[in-house]
Amino acid sequence: MVTKIKAFSLGLVALLAISLSHSLPSQADERFITVASTTSTQNSGLFEFMLPVFTKETGIEVRVVAVGTGQAIKLARNGDADVLFVHHKPSEEAFVADGFGIKRFDVMYNDFVIVGPSEDPAGIKGSADVITALKKIADSKTPFASRGDDSGTDKREKSLWKLANIEAGGEWYRETGSGMGATLNTAHGMGAYALTDRATWLAYKNKDGFDVLFEGDKNLFNQYGIIAVSPEKFPHVKIDDAQAFVDWVISKEGQAVIADYKLNGTQLFFPNAPVQGS
Amino acid sequence: MGAQESAIFLAADLVFSGDYQLYSIVALSLKVSLLATGIATCLGLPLAALLAIARFPGWDIVATFLNAMLGLPPVVVGLFVYLSLSRAGPLGMLGLLFTPTAMVIAQTILITPIVAAIALRSLEDFNSEYAEQLRAMGLTGWERAQTLLWEARFSLATAVLAGFGRAVAEVGAVMIVGGNIANVTRVMTTAIALETSKGDLALALALGVILILLALVVNLIASAAREIGRKAAGEAPARGEA
């Protein structure tokens, strides 16, 4: 009996060892870089469109971890990514200034919009600027769903409230503490307004009875930047491949691929990397 | 809204059209969770058997701790494993973060207590029945533990399946340590979370339907194997089962 169970457990362990060694991809034989990025670039489908082009050309696989900008920067600061591709310029500049990144490049832009129930309960449609729109929401105490997750969109929203001199809080102001899509789902469920980047909104599918109610203010400009993580800070960073990716994204060709990406005929991101001298 | 109805059709469509990289996601889900279950079984069952036969000072504390670990939130486990495997963490040089291996580690930590705690319950039943006989046979403690495991093997399947169920359904830990990277660490649950965040609720629900079917199939196979084994062993259905 005891020998039986010995044989049985030996078999189990052997089986485990074999499957472990065979089934999990090993690190050494694959050429890849890890990019910490935002949910908007992933959820909009941009990466799915653009990364295969780069991989085909260079043989470098790009693994994207899509989280909020705040979390992406923390990942990169821990050395868990080779490239940072996010949208909050002040934090990106601080990242480089603190020695974690080599150099920051503008990549592309689009804009933020305020979405909400089509009936527009606070009447923000046609407001002169985004500050007026936010004041109308706050004054009428209409529900507003905030990310509350320290993402790029969240940072922007907080700075807009500050600009409007409004202490956002109280029963109408609801922090979801989650990603853009989840926050849109929540806003949709409670009939609340929300600030979102246009790309996520256009790709988002659960928008019956919801519309863009305010857009087109210079304060809603949404710039994306890319930074290779510094190998001086983290010797394990795959700097050659990371730099190859950064160079490609801001190259004429990479920029053209970004401009080519359309969803239902609408261009989602507008390339604006500085022209490369070569 | 129709999302529920369309989800059923969409699920069928996904399964039969081979679309959505569904098969590779399902395969990775199974691979990661089965490996974690296998390791958790190797660790959890001997632990449960030793606890079932041994009585030592602090036994209650260990057993209570084990039961408390049943309520371990996956996100906390994920965070713990992330901090350990991060380049800034103690095991950073292994470069395991954002790999399936990291996901196996997180799930193993999560479900080993589940396997052990549930196994302990049925092993204690067996032990109260056989303890005197075993002692009379003059077996050492470890031999008694092994005998107990062997005798209770069919009821222990419940513990192992409970561990697998938790592993395959869990999203919080694998999201953090795996990163939900397409084609690398994306499993059923993180794909569901992603589609939900894209507002594609029908597709998310369809993936949920497939996940449930998957769990059902694994459980059916396990219970069929158990029946066959039981017949071969010429045993009446074991005690201590729900």
Do residue A134 and residue A62 come from a single domain?
no
Q: Which residue has the tokens 């394990």?
A: A236
8 Å CB contact of B143 and A6: no
8 Å CB contact of A179 and B197: yes
CATH label of the domain that carries residue A61: 3.40.190.10
Q: Is A178 helix (H, G, I), strand (E, B) or coil?
A: coil
**Which candidate from B86, B146, B149 shows the least CB-CB separation from A80?**
B86
Residue A9: CB atoms within 10 A of its CB come to 17
Do residue A115 and residue A215 come from a single domain?
yes
Question: Quick one: pLDDT band at residue A20, thresholds 50, 70, 90?
Answer: low
Examine residue A6 and state whether it is found in any structural domain, yes or no.
Answer: no
Q: What is the pLDDT of residue B177?
A: 96
Residues of B in contact with A64 (CB under 8 A): 181-182
- CATH among 3.40.190.290, 1.10.3720.10, 3.20.20.70, 3.20.20.140 for B3-231: 1.10.3720.10
Do residue A99 and residue A179 come from a single domain?
no
8 Å CB contact of A236 and B87: yes
Residues 6+ away with beta carbon under 8 Å from B50: B141, B142, B145
Domain range enclosing A67: 32-110+223-271
Q: What is the pLDDT of residue B9?
A: 80
CB A203 within 8 A of CB A69: no
- Burial of B116 by CB count in 10 Å (0-12 exposed, 13-18 middle, 19+ buried)? buried
Do residue A148 and residue A243 come from a single domain?
no
What average pLDDT does chain A have?
A: 91
- Burial of A2 by CB count in 10 Å (0-12 exposed, 13-18 middle, 19+ buried)? middle
E strand residue ranges, chain A = 32-37, 61-66, 83-86, 101-117, 144-146, 173-175, 193-197, 210-214, 221-229, 262-263, 266-267, 270-271
Do residue A173 and residue A233 come from a single domain?
no
8 Å CB contact of B197 and A180: yes
Do residue A71 and residue A170 come from a single domain?
no
Examine residue A278 and state whether it is found in any structural domain, yes or no.
Answer: no
8 Å CB contact of A25 and B180: no
Number of domains in chain A: 2
- Domain chopping of chain B, boundaries: 3-231
CB B152 within 8 A of CB B240: yes
Q: How many CA atoms lie within 13 A of A8 on its CB side?
A: 13
Q: Is the complex ipTM more than 0.85?
A: no
Do residue A232 and residue A204 come from a single domain?
no
Do residue A45 and residue A179 come from a single domain?
no
d(CA A231, CA A219): 35
Do residue A201 and residue A163 come from a single domain?
yes
d(CA A24, CA B176): 18
Nearest CA in chain A to B35: A16
Examine residue A175 and state whether it is found in any structural domain, yes or no.
Answer: yes
d(CA B11, CA B98): 28
Flag whether residue B182 sits within 8 Å of chain A, measured between CB atoms: yes
pLDDT in tens, chain B (242 residues): 466 777 778 887 887 776 667 888 999 999 999 999 999 999 999 999 999 988 889 999 999 999 999 888 999 999 999 999 999 999 999 999 999 999 999 999 999 999 999 999 989 988 888 888 888 888 888 888 888 898 898 889 989 999 999 999 999 999 999 999 998 999 999 999 999 988 888 889 989 999 999 889 988 998 888 888 888 877 555 544 44
Flag whether residue B98 sits within 8 Å of chain A, measured between CB atoms: yes
8 Å CB contact of B98 and A63: yes
d(CA B173, CA B74): 5
CB A102 within 8 A of CB A230: yes
Do residue A232 and residue A193 come from a single domain?
no
Q: Is B186 helix (H, G, I), strand (E, B) or coil?
A: coil
pLDDT digits (tens, 9 = 90+) for A167-177: 988 899 999 99
8 Å CB contact of B199 and A206: yes
Count A/B contacts: CB-CB distance under 8 Å: 104
Asked whether residue A71 carries a pLDDT value surpassing 60, the answer given is yes
Q: What is the pLDDT of residue B19?
A: 66
**Which candidate from A34, A205, A234 shows the least CB-CB separation from B98?**
A34
Examine residue A131 and state whether it is found in any structural domain, yes or no.
Answer: yes
Flag whether residue B99 sits within 8 Å of chain A, measured between CB atoms: yes
Give bridge partners of residue A194 from the DSSP assignment.
A115, A145
8 Å CB contact of A182 and B196: yes
8 Å CB contact of A65 and B146: no
Residues A231-254, mean pLDDT to the nearest whole number: 96
Residues of A in contact with B196 (CB under 8 A): 181-182, 185
Q: Which pTM was predicted?
A: 0.86
User: Tokens representing B72?
Assistant: 């371990």
Residues 6+ away with beta carbon under 8 Å from B75: B172, B173, B176
**Which candidate from A16, A48, A80 shows the least CB-CB separation from B38?**
A16
Residues A115-124, mean pLDDT to the nearest whole number: 96
What average pLDDT does chain B have?
A: 89
| Virtual torsion, Cα B200, B203, B208, B210, nearest 10 deg | -170
